[in-house]
Amino acid sequence: MIVAVNKMDLVGWKEDRFRVLEKEIREYLGGLKIIPREVIPISAREGATVMRRDEKHLSWWKGPTLLEALLAGAGKVESKGEGPLRFSIQDVYRFDSRRVIVGKLESGRIRVGDPVVFFPDRKTSKIKSIESWGEETALREVGPGQSVAVTLEEQIFVERGHVGALPNNSPVESREVRARIFWLDIEPLRLQAPVTLRLGTQTVEARVVAIDRVVDAEKLEAASDTREEVGRFEVAEVRIRCRRPLVYDSHEKVSATGRFALQRGPRIGGGGIITFAEYPASLAKAVTGEHLTWTEGRVSQEARAGHFGHEGAVIWLTGLSGSGKSTLAVALESLLFRRGIGTMILDGDNLRHGLCADLGFSLIDRAENIRRAGEVAKLMAESGLVVIGSLISPLRKERESVRASCHNAGLNFSEVYISATIAECEKRDPRGLYQKARKGEIQGFTGIDSPYEAPEKPDLILETGKEEVEKSATRLLSHVLNLVRLKEEDREGAAGPGGQI
């Protein structure tokens, strides 16, 4: 970021006035975790320090002009050292029998013989050669910031928008990102309004699904009210959901794959940086293992969604025992099924009769119980089902782990907090579990002698102690339908070339 402090002519070109403003600006932006590269005094009316220096009025300013500061950052590769390999594919050309893959090394180095994984399909091959136009001597290695052409030892399918990485340091692949955006268009950016997200050579339709915080960039004030749109010149912290998986990094890790533009129609409406990324474990360990391979099916998630008429998803109901999770899960399953949506309940008690029968109720065993349930839910959602998880899942970190796993697989995930006080739960307790726990007959009972951490930012809260079951079920149904139902343009996209078998 470069900040220009305008109208210096109106304060008599005083350095002390500028320094006070500069200090305020740097402190404020520091609170937003933004470090400006330059804060420059200018007068647009007089042209002072815009393109040229003004020795008459601003002789005390020894820094760059605004133009010099802009040019100093043009084309600059900003990375900590060289960073991990990120090879953004621009196109694939055929020369005789060779397939030449061209793109830009956003960060890292690439060498002949390196194994490279291409996201999002996760196809792997080795670099056979590095092509250089007009050079007689073949290159063996190239570094960050260079546009290169390579050939692969195995002819795998890659195309524009794919990103190459080394197996032990992969980017994030997800349909949802957390970002800080700056909106420029006159028309506000509204929740659920379609925009085109451009990151490197990737282009994907996206929608803002949550606005967590908004800052007015002109007044430098943060809005505390609930917002449904981002206005012109506002900075906002948001969650963006993409129609198909996006390959990215946090901006702090790799700036080139952590920043993007938002386009509405033919116009660029704004841009942003990705502020959070849940990185997967090394592919070498997490996917292939020593003697394991990951078998990819030929039916994509988009094809399944187009076939069934809805996307797969994991709806995670969490709350105390007796809060109403199972009641609402059963009601939701029936309501979805009647609307032609494939669904399945994963109930915590049911899982303990089989898959998790070997687990106890210590915090370690309960964490493993949630991990297994989350993996099963993810696999079922990948098959196209709307999975309703009904589990106490008392700790936030376990629930967030399931969310991250689903997002990394490009799946919808929604955490629904079934909120009820312990007193209300005890009144409904048909099995008398709370009474037994208070007598010491049950050890490690959530809410009595074992903790429950309520969600900090759930996607939906249902206060079952304050509203009827029918109203809660209706609200839950509406929430899920908005999450998984395909609009007509989504149906067409799912049935397009990417969905063919």
How far is it, in rounded angstroms, from Cα 59 to Cα 54?
A: 7
CATH topology of domain 86-165: Elongation Factor Tu (Ef-tu); domain 3 (2.40.30)
Q: What is the CATH number of domain 177-276?
A: 2.40.30.10
pLDDT tier for residue 493 given thresholds of 50, 70 and 90: very low
HEC secondary structure over 233-257: CEEEEEEEEEEEEEEECCCCCCCCC
Q: What is the CATH number of domain 301-489?
A: 3.40.50.300
Q: What is the CATH number of domain 2-73?
A: 3.40.50.300
Q: Could you tell me the residue ranges of all domains in the chain?
A: 2-73, 86-165, 177-276, 301-489
The top-scoring range by mean pLDDT among 124-138, 295-309, 317-331 is 317-331
pLDDT at 77: 46
State pLDDT tens for residues 185-205.
999 999 989 999 999 999 999
Does residue 19 register a pLDDT over 60? yes
2-73 and 86-165, same CATH topology: no
Name the pTM for this structure.
Answer: 0.55
pLDDT at 32: 67
Q: With pLDDT > 90 as the criterion, what percentage of the chain qualifies?
A: 56
Interacting residues of 297 by C-beta distance below 8 A, sequence separation 6+: none
Task: Give catalytic residues, as residue numbers.
Answer: 393
Interacting residues of 471 by C-beta distance below 8 A, sequence separation 6+: none
State pLDDT tens for residues 256-285.
999 999 999 899 999 999 987 777 655 544
CA-wise closest residue to 418 among 326, 325, 481: 325
From residue 487, how far is each of 306, 309, 483 by CA, in Å? 10, 9, 11
Name the pairing type of β-strands 386-390 and 343-347.
Answer: parallel
Does residue 111 register a pLDDT over 80? yes
